[in-house]
Amino acid sequence: MEIFISSNPDALAQYAVDGIEELLAAKPEAVIGFATGSSPMAVYDEMAARYEAGRIDFSKAKGFQLDEYVGLPAGHEQTYLRFIHENMADRVNFVPGTVRAPDGTCEDLAAGAAAYEAAIEQAGGVDFQILGIGSNGHIAFNEPGGSLASATRVEALTEQTRQDNARFFDGDITRVPTHCVTQGLGTIMRARRIILLAQGEGKAEAIAHLVEGSVSARWPATILQHHPRVTLLLDEAAASKLELRDHYRWAWENRG
What is the rounded distance in angstroms from the CA atom of residue 65 to the CA atom of residue 33? Answer: 6
Site pattern 111..150 for ligand F6R (x: CB under 6 A): ---------------------xxx---xxxx---------
Sheet containing 67-69: which strands, arranged edge to edge?
67-69, 179-182, 153-156
Between 45 and 57, whose beta carbon lies closer to ligand F6R? 45
Q: Is residue 35 part of the contact set for ligand F6R (CB under 6 A)?
A: yes
Which 179-218 positions form the footprint of ligand F6R (CB under 6 A)? Answer: none
What is the rounded distance in angstroms from the CA atom of residue 192 to the CA atom of residue 188? Answer: 9
Q: Which stretch binds ligand F6R (CB under 6 A): 22-30, 35-43, 89-97, 206-214?
A: 35-43
Residues that are catalytic: 67, 136, 138, 143
Closest distance to ligand F6R from the beta carbon of 77 (Å) = 16
Query: Which candidate, 82, 79, 87, places its Cα nearest to that of 105?
Result: 79
Which residue blocks in the chain are alpha helix, DSSP H? 9-26, 41-52, 80-87, 109-122, 159-165, 185-189, 204-212, 245-253
Query: Rounded to the nearest 5 degrees, what angle is found at the Cα of 196, between the Cα atoms of 195 and 200?
Result: 145
Site pattern 37..56 for ligand F6R (x: CB under 6 A): xxx-----------------
Q: Is residue 104 part of the contact set for ligand F6R (CB under 6 A)?
A: no
Using the rule CB under 6 A, which residue among 33, 42, 67, 211 binds ligand F6R? 67
Q: H-helix or E-strand containing 155?
A: strand 153-156
CB 101 within 8 A of CB 34: no
Handedness of CA 109, 112, 114, 120 (dihedral sign): negative
Using the rule CB under 6 A, which residue among 42, 66, 109, 224 binds ligand F6R? 66
Between 109 and 207, whose beta carbon lies closer to ligand F6R? 207
Q: Which spans of this chain sit near ligand F6R (rule: CB under 6 A)?
A: 35-39, 66-67, 80, 132-134, 138-141
